[in-house]
Structure 1
Amino acid sequence: MRNKKRFLSIVAAVSMAASVFAGCGSTGGAEESAAPETTTAVESEEAAATESEAALAATDETADGYVGSGGTYTMYLRSTFIDWINDLEWYKEAEKRTGVTVEYQKGTSDEFGVYSEIDQMVLSGTLTDCTMVRQDQANVYGAQGAFYDLKPLIAEYAPHIQAYLDENPDYTSLVTNEDGGIYGLLVEAPQMANFIFYRQDHFDKAGIDVASIQTMDDFTEALRTLKEYYSDVENYYPLQGRDAVVRFQAFFDCASNISAEESNGFYYNSVDSGYDIHADNAYKMIETMKTWYDEGLINPEWVAGAFTEGDWEAAMWEGRGSVSFDFYTRPAAYNLEGTNYDPDYNMQIMPYLKDDDGNQMKAQTGPRYNQNRATVINAQASEETAITIIQFIDYFFSEEGQTLANWGVEGVSYEVVDGEKQFIADYDVELAKPDGEMEWSFLSDRYTVCKPLDSTAFFSFNSGIVRDAALSMFNDEYLQYGINVIYTDEQSEELSTILASLKDSCEAGLVSFIRGTTELNEENWQAFLDEMDAAGYTRMEELQLEAYRNTYGE
């Protein structure tokens, strides 16, 4: 009875943590979940007699990297993920080569809603053989015996996963629970940053050479030139955007960061977007943004938080803006529609800025592994089923499995030219296919299977403008890589409590300086810093540092 009560309390605690996290990071609305619907990825629409299928049939390949003997198991997933999986040609080929069939059961379309559903399924004993959960769920339930410890399964039945663990000690440390067990395998995520993108046609007409924009001062001067040239355009502001306006911290050397020595700024739940108000150049950042605001170089509605995504898109399409700093695929999306508004429309990507000494400034990325996507095996599944599951996952850690999941089939979706793989499958054509139609798609930021990431493949499968910029700029020279950190329940609870008010108060204070509501001077700035420290800023940094050291044993 004591263990049952403890298990119930753990379920309640994890459910509460899920609701807190969803409130902070989920963009999906709450949706009512339909009754579980079973589907298999080998079921496709009758539009099956395609050239690609004929080519696949001709190859008649078997899986050299697969060490199992086929089988079937059930898996509960967010419905959106299942819809994606069911449309993937390479996934269908993987099931054919391995002889494994996964019977998917659909949960809600909201990712964080699925986690709550899984809480209830674990409690009621109705969970499928396999599922995907948050890492904290995997460790809590796994330690209580609800999930398999994957460590012995991997050692005996999954040689390719074992090799990956041996070659990536940081990953091994990350997925290993404090009791020594491995209860969930995390998905490797693309490490990508926002791009600075601009209307090349606007720059050309205003006489601006983008190559001359090296520093933040150069950037500001370019905005001034644009503002003057397009002064007759109503409601024109050179710099436009959506959501949080404080997003340029990386180009002032004010990005949040963490190491074994120190934690600076907002890192918890803000790995790729956090800033540090105590950084040496934080004052300069706000001073510069105030200049943008005072001179009409940035949209005041955006600064005030009153500019929606739709407003931003309309402004950028209709010529009321020339520059943005946002998600890396946005430039291509703007170009798709841009010529409908202006025949000269030409969005391009600007190199990241340098500091005043010529040193490259680095844009922030998310962490390497997605801690919201841990693949687990239900302890109620038979040992035979557990082996089938771990060996199917293991296939995608083999050389052949990685090639299939990241590139597809040679001669069908890719070819080898001078020793290098190149996609034959056209990004725009494949992604234009309607839902339910099979496609060659390799968007590894979507959940499909637990597998290592081929960054070159991921960024190569894109529209030309994004592909070229990503392959040249998403590397060590230009990126500050996010770091995975594991927080205890107590740390997460305290951080969530602190951030519930601190983050909004901090951003409101910064915006107040930018808009001139509060005079920006050294005295007021120091008072602001003191106020934020008293509200929990320094305690937040202490907790983040403690968690980092616990994660990596430093």
Structure 2
Amino acid sequence: MLAALFLVLAACSGDSEEAGSSDDNGNDGGDDASSEEDSGEVFTYDYFDASGPGEDINTSETELGKMFEEETGVNFDIEHIVGDVNQKIGTMIASGEYPHLLNAEQSTDAVIDAGGFIPLNDLLEEHAPNIMKMYGPYLELMKRDDGNIYVISSGAAHGYKKPANLNQGAWFIKRDVLRELGYPQPKTLDDFFSIVEEYTAANPQIDGADTIGFTALTHDWRFFALSNQPMHLAGYPNDGGALIDMDTREAEVYQNKEITKNWLEKLNEINDKGLFDQEAFTQNYDEYLAKITSGRVVGFFDYRWQAAQALDTLDQDDDIYNDYMGFPVVFDENVKDQYLDPIGFTASPGMGITVGTPEEDQIRIIKYLDHIAKEETQKLITWGIEGETYEVDDDGRYYRTEEQVDETSLTEFRDSFGFTYFEWGWPRMNGMYEDGNAVEPPKQEEVASMMYDEGDQEFLDAYEIETFTGLFSEPDERPWYPAYDAPIETGSDAQLYEQQLDDLMKRKYPEIIFSAPSEFDSQWESYLGEFEGLNPEAYEEVITNFVQKKAELVESSRE
């Protein structure tokens, strides 16, 4: 009997130790990821990233990811989007089967409405002091109407730093074109297309293939790369589907306004001249990038981050004239351009933990994200390792040597080190660190000057600028920016307007652009007739309320 009793007691003791133990402070260690970290056990979670294509990889296969695994006991299998985002996320919603961590991009609201994300409020307060610090000024903006935070976006702004190189919208012209025409500087839309027309007429073929005067990105959700242009040309920043009045902070849609008519009329005109890419509305994203890389395209508009894969490839080409240079083009020369983003915070899209993830795994994941949010980790993610990928001078300023600039610009190195996978999407600062160094190395003057080769310097000298944003105006302050971050409730009148407008533009814009010039007015009137059947007022009301509330929260946080 005594032997049996000892066996029972021993078993109970073992069960108690497995369930969790208390630390010196009396805290229960049963849900603490650190206990597994100390044991050397590694936990792998699924992360689906719908922000763009990429190589599927486990984070531990990168140098950064391996470091983070050793420090947290966690790694992630990253899967990137292939095909239609809405369809992929829609399948997840219908099945109720989600990865542990999810960035649903433009389908974020749909996942929230379907109950696919868990509220993060308690997890953040209990286990994520670094995230709370980084996003402190924006925590109220991250909450939905029910008071819950479901996703953590990438980019908590801490001060404005004008970039040395473009990452946002610009009108790109091939360098070979600029050189051949004597380095013209297009300031207006007419200037831009005059350059395109002159060069195409003189060079109907490039490397044995037909020259494409102007192409456009219209595939899937990226259609905004074409439809946003009236806003930019009129001197507004990228606030999405509406213009925001600087004084009243009221939103007004522009897709039925004169500025949109002028934009479409210009495309109709250049199409009649044979300058508009006839495949612009049928090519997919990869085909669009390949076309730019081919060197056949004279000019295009895009957000640099969207065309980065093609432009980075050209930047590494031995022929310096195959690359492109961006310009801040507007309708009228007297209009101030607003292509560079002002300080802003975007609460969505972002990454969230999904339902069905066990509580202990939720804690491990949020602690991993909190580790990412440490300033020392942020510097690893953006700058790398001191003495290897950057140096520090006597004044504490970060810089890179020429060899380090070359190495950190190589796609192969960026992939293997982890820059490619960690720079965006995860919790991330934007602007400046507490010590005054820029978060992004290319925004640091000491780095920007080292990144330019002789080919770059030729064009900087030709346009009498020191950096490739030298021709761009600094942005006006907009405490609500960006307005496109407004949460649109699924099934609401505002959401219905967005969907109907998107369908209308995708159907009618090709008809308007490809029509004979003599038919343009009738095509435009046909488009307006269908637009009048929509309900833009519902959308304007949602955006106006969001802009005014966000501006009030941001301004009050500064007091």
- The TM tier, using the shorter chain, reads 0.5 to 0.7
State the SS of the aligned residue for 1:469: coil
Aligned equivalent of 1:39: none
1:405 to 370, 381, 386: 381
Q: Quick check: 2:339–2:475 contact (8 Å CA) kept in 1?
A: no
Residues of 1 paired with 2:287 and 2:135: CA distance?
Answer: 46
Task: Give the match for residue 233 of structure 2.
Answer: 251
The range that moved more, 182-191 or 528-537, is: 182-191
For structure 2, list consecutive stretches of 5 or more residues without a partner in the other structure.
Answer: 1-32, 158-165, 433-437, 457-465, 554-559
User: Is 1:131–1:376's contact at 8 Å kept on the other side of the alignment?
Assistant: yes
Aligned match of 1:358 in 322, 329, 334?
334
User: Matched residue of 1:188: which SS?
Assistant: strand
Measure the CA separation in 1 of the matches of 2:96 and 2:111.
11
Aligned match for 1:289, one of 250, 254, 267:
267
1:198 aligns with 2:200: no
Aligned to 2:528: 529
Alpha-carbon distance between aligned partners in 1 of 2:47 and 2:320, rounded to the nearest angstrom: 44
- CA deviations 1:34-53 (Å, max 9, x no partner) are xxxxxxxxxxxxxxxxxxxx
Query: Structure 1 regions of 5+ residues with no counterpart?
Result: 1-66, 266-275
TM-score, length of structure 1 as denominator length: 0.65
Q: Which residue of 2 aligns with 1:18?
A: none
Alpha-carbon distance, 1:519 to partner: 3.8
Change (3 A) 1:292 1:183: closer
Give yes or no for contact 2:153–2:351 (8 Å, CA) kept in 1. yes
Distance 2:112 2:284 in 1: 38
Hey, what does 1:161 align to over in structure 2?
A: 131
Question: Does the Cα contact within 8 Å between 2:497 and 2:539 map onto a contact in 1?
Answer: yes
Q: CA deviation at 1:551?
A: 7.5
Task: Tell me how large the CA RMSD over aligned residues is.
Answer: 4.7
SS at 2:321's partner residue?
coil
Once the two structures are TM-superposed, the CA of residue 251 in structure 1 deviates from its matched residue by 1.9
Question: What are the Cα deviations for residues 337-378 of structure 1, in whole angstroms up to 9, with x where unaligned?
Answer: 5x6xxx673423132124534333223879844634333276
> Taking structure 1 as reference, are residues 174 and 112 closer, same or farther at Cα in structure 2, changes over 3 Å only?
farther
8 Å Cα contact 1:151/1:181 also seen in 2? yes
1:75 to 45, 48, 66: 45
Cα offsets for 1:455-490 (capped at 9, x unmatched):
855462997589953798696369984541112233
- Select which of 141, 144, 147 maps to 1:174: 141
Do residues 334 (structure 1) and 314 (structure 2) align? yes
Match of 2:491 in 1: 490
Equivalent residue of 1:396, what SS? helix
Q: What amino acid maps onto 1:264 in structure 2? A: E
One-letter amino acid of the counterpart of residue 311, structure 2:
P
Task: Pick the aligned partner of 1:441 from 396, 414, 419.
Answer: 419
Give the Cα–Cα distance (whole angstroms) in 2 for the partners of residues 227 and 391 of structure 1: 55
2-side partners of 1:482 and 1:131: how far apart? 26
State the alpha-carbon separation in 2 of the partners of residues 356 and 387 from structure 1.
54
User: Does structure 1 residue 238 correspond to structure 2 residue 226?
Assistant: no
CA contact (8 A) 1:360 1:477 kept: no
- Aligned residues of 1:185 and 1:376 also touching (Cα < 8 A): no
> Are residues 1:150 and 2:150 paired?
no
Secondary structure at 1:359 match in 2: coil
Q: How does 1:8-407 map to 2 (within 5 A)?
A: 71=37, 73-78=43-48, 83=57, 85-96=59-70, 98=71, 100-102=72-74, 104=76, 110=82, 115=89, 119=93, 130-132=100-102, 134=104, 135-136=108-109, 139-140=112-113, 147=118, 149-166=119-136, 168-169=137-138, 172-188=139-155, 192-205=167-180, 207-211=181-185, 213-230=186-203, 235-243=210-218, 246=227, 248-249=229-230, 250-253=232-235, 256-257=241-242, 259=244, 261-265=249-253, 276-296=254-274, 298-302=275-279, 305-306=281-282, 320-328=296-304, 329=308, 330-336=310-316, 345-363=321-339, 368-369=345-346, 371-376=348-353, 381-382=358-359, 386-407=362-383
Q: Structure 1, residues 513-554: CA drift from partner, whole Å, max 9, x if none?
A: 433447467676455424312144555445555666788899
**Is the contact made by 1:355 and 1:361 (CA closer than 8 Å) also made in structure 2?**
no
Correspondence list, 1:419-438, <5 A: 419-423=396-400, 424=404, 426=406, 430-432=410-412, 438=416
Q: Any idea what the Cα deviations from partners look like across 1:112-159, whole Å, max 9, x if unmatched?
A: 677567658867xxx78x5235454775577x9x83x53344334432
User: What is the distance in 1 between the residues matched to 2:92 and 2:508?
Assistant: 39
Q: What is the TM-score of this pair, normalised by structure 2? A: 0.64
- Aligned residue number for residue 63 of structure 1: none
Q: Residue 299 of structure 1: SS of its match in structure 2?
A: coil
Does the 8 Å contact 1:192/1:365 carry over to 2? no
One-letter amino acid matched to 2:189: M
